[in-house]
Amino acid sequence: MKKTIYVDNAATTPTLKPVLDAMIPFFCEHYGNPSAMYGVAGEAKEALEEARRRVAALIGADEDEIFFTGGGTEADNLALRGVMCAPKNTRKHMITTEIEHHAILHPAQQLEREGFRVTYMPVDDKGRVSLSAIADEATPDTALISVMAANNEVGTIEPIAEIGAFCRGRGIIFHTDAVQAAGHMKIDVHEMKIDLLSMSAHKFGGPKGVGAIYIRRGIRLLPLVLGGGQEKGMRSGTENTAGIVGMGMAAKIAAENMEEDMKRVAALRDKLIKGVLEIKKTRLTGDPENRLPGTASFVIEGVEGESMVLLLNEEGICAATGSACSTASLDPSHVLTAMHIPHEIVHGSLRISIGVQNTESDIDHIIAKLPGIVARLRAMSPMWNEEI
């Protein structure tokens, strides 16, 4: 059997073994409901609070500012609806970007249908949003600015500290979707003047279906899920104890190893980029400097991204084209379109996202296989002409 080389870590990461080990006791041993008062529940309650401290530490927050959710999507929905629909909010406008994840874009569109006004900021060719352009759009009616910390398709890092500084003092709440960034780059919610931040465990070595939102002390959100009042009423429902413990352990490991791991991952990424760009008529998408350590993204002329992904899969290599959600549709990625990648080549997109488990031999294997795959596909393409 061919070895699997998994390089789609922006879609999800394998759960780290120590994370799974930390979770296991919370199924059959410490199974108590954390809200209960007897012994077996005490263990769960304590573990929950330890996880909260670990997640807080990863982003420089205090533990009472962390609220666990059912993942990144829920945290994003809660941020947008929680601010805009809060009973005390009288402002009707929010600003976001054209390159957000659908977990932001779809709730934003829903808010528009409900009568709010949403401005979607364009980005430059590298996928960066401009603070001065945002400042031009902000009005006294602007309640919320939501800009992702790093993009999931191209890895571009956004100027969030600058946007945070702009919002603070103007009565505008600043939210960042840090699902790609958390655990992969240094984030300090105080230094960056972030009011709300979304994160998701499965993007940094934790389990799927658990995430968190950081809510700066003093900010009031309308909860999405009402019920038993868990998470101080911000997210009712019996806590996913094992998942939360796993997220806490993943946060601890990420915080401890980030500097070393990300240096190594970035070196692999740079080697990969160099190798892939040897293929002619290929370009890197996203920002060459301000990018996530693990994310390399390209457009390759004369091929279809889907075909590339299928042929890579035959070589045991798991990579992505466009966004994971777009595999069912033929529309080009909204991110690449926003970055003005010409229509003729936007379909040849390839994202290779490297994780802590990848090795140099994985990268060598990809660099060895990809040129042949591209040549095969180009030979079959009626559109491809060597001379152009």
Ligand X SMILES: *Cc1c(COP(=O)(O)O)cnc(C)c1O
Residues that bind ligand X (CB under 6 A): 71-73, 76, 101, 103, 148, 152, 177, 179-180, 200, 202-203, 211
Residues 164 and 173: their CA atoms lie apart, in Å, by 9
Q: Report the C-alpha gap between 217 and 61 in whole angstroms.
A: 10
Distance (Å, whole) CA 106 – CA 113: 11
CA–CA dist 361, 359 (Å, integer): 5
Concatenated DSSP letters of 66-98: EEEESSHHHHHHHHHHHHHT-TT----EEEEET
Instruction: Choose between 76 and 301: whose C-beta lies nearer to ligand X.
Output: 76
Tell me the residue nearest to ligand X as measured from the CB: 72
Place of tokens 């488990």: 357
Q: Which helix (H) or strand (E) holds 335?
A: helix 334-338
Q: In the complex, what is the shortest distance from the CB of residue 323 to ligand X, in angstroms, rounded to a whole number?
A: 9
Q: How far is the CB of 86 from ligand X (least distance, A)?
A: 22
CA angle 225, 231, 237 (to 5 degrees): 45
Closer residue to ligand X, CB minimum distance, 58 or 377: 58
Taking the least distance from each CB to ligand X, the nearer of 200 and 285 is 200
Nearer to ligand X, 307 or 323 (CB): 323
The catalytic position among 28, 167, 318, 325 is 325
Query: Rounded to an integer, what distance in angstroms lies between the CA atom of residue 322 and that of residue 326?
Result: 7
Asked if 93 and 99 touch (Cβ cutoff 8 Å), the reply is no
Which residue type, as a one-letter code, is found at position 309? V
Q: How far is the CB of 154 from ligand X (least distance, A)?
A: 11
Block residue for tokens 């699902």: 179
Minimum separation from the CB atom of position 315 to ligand X (A) = 26
Pick between residue 11 and residue 86 the one whose CB is nearest to ligand X: 11
Answer yes or no: 28 catalytic: no
Which residues are tagged catalytic? 325
